[in-house]
Chains A and B, each alone.
Chain A
């Protein structure tokens, strides 16, 4: 696993802010896979997801000046941009998925992406399989689903607070495995 973005040097962020193509290339090489994994799971169609990845990186390039290290890691900042972009894409193309039967982490990828799957995939599959069903659903919907939490609360007929605490419980559960 590459080093987490919390350890990225200030000087690298400054290079990005100066729009250095070399720095941006490095950024792309390091994080495009992780972001594309999420975009693909949210969108479900390879071509649209790749466009969304490209557009997300254009937004990252344009808005890099507004990135503030004291508020969070570079990765979560890029993730927010990409997620919001994917939600917009899903909305505009009217291709929201039904909540039933989405098995994003394990299902979609198995069918369509068998060639470009990375070796870590088996690990995440194993991890997610170990989770309780409600935690699994929460990881899939809240983190990889193209839903805002308000929409989830409405669709699943649960109070927003429950969605939030469940998403936390699910992530805490996963953290146990990462920390091992």
Chain B
């Protein structure tokens, strides 16, 4: 994907004022997470929209604030609990009216069954709510885990010591091949995401190389199941000048096979 083109499309501005579809919204959030350039641009756009809004401000009448805070006092902070009112009007029946007594007896029996059925319903609902609650807890926990992973990644991308290198398809290999390496010389971390590489034959494996002082150093093999997934850590080297990926026999080789170089990118 071309980051510049994406930014130039104006979608970030549309996102910032909320004029995008839910799908585009998700896309922008994902893109700004992966590409620091997009994140930086998005922050700048939001700031300028705020500045634009600030210089065009009009002070509303002070009444609005008073009315607003009165209304907020009436806003429930949690959902109201609705109590079930029980009808008690059988207390006032007259013994002398036998007919009424029969009617009352029938209605009491009905009421008893009615109450009993409510209780069963309530119990069912309680069970259901408990189930739901457990499920919700599990969902929240999985979101929490995802969130921690995302914050880690975000912290990494926001760190100015991280350098991003795009490894692009070489001459004789598919043009769409793409991998992204991020390395941090200070914290000595290197991570890679394989965006697109052809599925290797079962007896072959991709090998990652760093070029240091003009010499290739193997950073290890790339697991097949990591293709098209997120970032994962790899071996770190000091002062790399470039990164490349070659297709080699399973287990890797000592020196890269130059004809089988799929992607490469210089720092």
Contacts and interface: CB of A to CB of B under 8 A. Distances in A.
Interface of A: 1-2, 4-6, 19, 21, 24-25, 28, 32-38, 40-41, 50, 53-54, 57-58, 61-62, 70-73, 75-76, 79-80, 83-84, 105, 109, 113, 116-118, 120-121, 123-124, 127, 139, 142-144, 148-149, 161, 163-169, 171, 174-175, 178
20 contacts: A4-B51, A6-B43, A6-B46, A36-B57, A54-B67, A61-B75, A75-B50, A75-B53, A76-B50, A109-B58, A116-B58, A116-B59, A121-B55, A139-B52, A142-B19, A143-B17, A161-B10, A166-B10, A168-B9, A178-B51
Given A33-B60, A75-B53, A58 B68 contact: yes
Contact of A121 (B10, B49, B56): B56
Nearest to B65: A28
Given A32-B64, A118-B57, A175-B44, A5 B50 contact: yes
Interface of B: 8-14, 16-19, 29, 42-61, 63-65, 67-69, 71-72, 75, 77, 150-151, 154
A1 B58 contact: no
A50 B68 CA distance: 10
Contacts of B77: 19
B55 A75 contact: no
A83 B49 CA distance: 13
Nearest to A54: B68
B68 A28 contact: yes
B56 A38 contact: yes
A4 B17 contact: no
Contacts of B150: 70
A105 B56 contact: yes
Given A4-B47, A76-B46, A149 B53 contact: no
Nearest to A40: B58
Given A1-B55, A5-B50, A79-B49, 11 more contacts: A6-B43, A21-B69, A33-B57, A33-B58, A37-B57, A58-B71, A113-B58, A121-B56, A144-B56, A149-B14, A174-B52
B58 to A, nearest CB: 4
Contacts of A105: 56
A168 B49 contact: no
- For B13, B29, B150, which residue has the most chain A Cβ atoms within 10 angstroms? B13
B9 A165 contact: yes
Closest 5 A/B residue pairs (Cβ): A80-B18, A164-B10, A33-B57, A168-B10, A34-B53
A109 B55 CA distance: 13
A62 B71 CA distance: 12
Contacts of A5: 50
B155 to A, nearest CB: 11
A34 B75 CA distance: 25
A175 B55 CA distance: 13
Nearest to B50: A75
A139 to B, nearest CB: 8
